[in-house]
Amino acid sequence: MNNLKDHQLASEAFLSLPKKVGLIYSEVKREYFPTEVQYLTEKDALDDAQIIAKYLEAMGIKAFLYPGDPQLPERLRKHKPDLAINLVGSVKGNEYLASTIPAVLELLEIPYTGAGILGESLSYNKFLIKKLLQQNGVPVPNYQLMNSATDPLDPTLRYPLITKLNEIHGAVEITQNSVSENETHLRERLKYLIRTYEQPVLVEEFIVGREITAMLLEGLNKKIYLAEKVFTKAEEKYIFATFEDQWLEEGEEAFHYQRFDDRLLKEYVRKAFEITKMADYAKFDTRLDISGRYYFIDCNSNPAFGPKETDCALSNILDLYGISFTEILKRLMLNTMRDATGIGTKVYPTPEGNGEIQ
C-alpha cells in the first residue's frame, strides 16, 4: 500500500456491515433507583434504543431490542445477532453491574461494541480511574475518597472542593450545592450522599476554568474530537455543567459546544483511553485552568450513545466535524467486526499525527 487511505479502503473491502444487530439497553424501573434524579438519567433507555434501531434498519440491518435483564442470554441465543451494541448503563439500578453485559456477550461469543469486562468495571470506580491516570502522567485534580462523613480530610486539599458519587455517572447529584467552601458544608454534603446512595464519595479540588469535552472514536485508527462547553448562563459563582443543565433545563440552553483543538490534550486522551481499558468510543471531560493546565475530571466508557435528536454529547460534538450518526454507527460496527474477525492491520499514531501501519 502506498498510503494510509489505500490501506483503509483495502481492509474495509474485506468487511461488511452485520445483517443482524442486537441493541441491549438498560431495564429501567423506578424502584431500582434510590432517587428520582438517578432514575431520570435512564428512564428513556428503551426510547433511545428504538431511535437507534430505526437508523440501523434504514441501513438495511435487522435490529433486535433486548433489555439487560436475566432473560438476556436466552434471547441472544434465540436470535443469534452478528453483533451487539451495548447501551446498558445499569443493571437493576446498579451502574457497577453494567460490566455483566460484556461478560454475557463474551460467554456467548457475540462481538459487541464498547469496553470489555475490565474497562466497564473500572469506569464505575472513579477513584481507581483517578489513580490510573495519575500513575501514568495524565493530570487530575487533587482528590480523596471518603468512605464515611467523618473520615479525616487530607489537609493538603484546597477549597473549593466538589463532591462526586464514586460509582455513578450521568452528573447525578452534581449541582451548585456540590461545591463546598468550608468543612461544615462538606461534611453535611458527604453525610447526605453516603446515606442516600450507600457508596463512597470522591472529593476533589474544583478547577476554575474552561471545560473541554473529548470524544474518541475508533476505526482503523483512533480519532479524537474536542469541543469546548460555552456556557450561556454566568450568574452562578462556579460555572460548570450541572445535573439540571444536562437533564432538566427547558428553554434557554445552559451551554453549547464549539470546536476546540489542542494536540497536547489529544495525546492525554489517547493515553487515558488505553490505560483505562476502554474500547470503540469514550468520553472525557477536562478543565483548562487560567495557567493553561489540563485536568481530567471525568472519564466514561460506553458514554450515552444516540443521534442528535436524543441530545447526546457524542453526536452533538461529532456533528461539529461534519460526521453524521449513520457514519458513527458504521465506523463503530466495522471496528467491532474487524476486531472480531482479525481482518485489517492495526494503525498507530505517528508523531506527525497521521496513521502508521504496523
Q: What would the CATH number be for the domain defined by 142-205?
A: 3.30.1490.20
Q: Counting runs of H as helices and runs of E as strands, what totals does the chain give?
A: 12, 14
Q: What is the pLDDT confidence band of residue 342, given thresholds at 50, 70 and 90?
A: low
pLDDT at 354: 39
Which of the pair, 97 or 15, is modelled with greater confidence? 97
Cα–Cα nearest to 296, from 96, 114, 137: 137
pLDDT of residue 246: 82
pTM > 0.85: yes
What are the residue ranges spanned by the domains of the chain? 15-112, 142-205, 210-345
Does 352 or 254 have the greater pLDDT score? 254
Q: In which band, very low, low, confident or very high, does the pLDDT at 235 lie, cut at 50, 70 and 90?
A: confident
The pairing of strands 20-25 and 83-86 is: parallel
Distance (Å, whole) CA 342 – CA 344: 6
Instruction: Encode pLDDT of 17-76 as tens digits.
Output: 999 999 999 999 999 999 999 999 999 999 999 999 999 999 999 999 999 999 999 999
Nearest Cα residue to 27 out of 80, 75, 78, 59: 75
Residues 104-160 have pLDDT tens digits of 999 999 999 999 999 999 999 999 999 999 999 999 999 999 999 999 999 999 999
- In whole angstroms, give the CA distance from residue 119 to residue 248: 30
Q: Is the pLDDT of residue 7 over 60?
A: no
Place of cell 483512533: 222
- Report pLDDT digits (tens) over 159-170: 999 999 999 998
> Does 308 or 349 have the greater pLDDT score?
308
Q: Give CATH for domain 210-345.
A: 3.30.470.20
For 15-112, CATH gives 3.40.50.20
Cα radius of gyration rounded to whole Å, the chain:
20
**Residue 121 burial (C-beta neighbours within 10 Å; 0-12, 13-18, 19+):** buried
Cβ proximity of 125 and 64 under 8 Å = no
Place of cell 451495548: 86
Q: What percent of the chain has pLDDT over 90?
A: 80
Q: What's the mean pLDDT in 309-316?
A: 93
* pLDDT at residue 344 greater than cutoff 50: no
pLDDT band at 353 (very low <50, low <70, confident <90, very high): very low
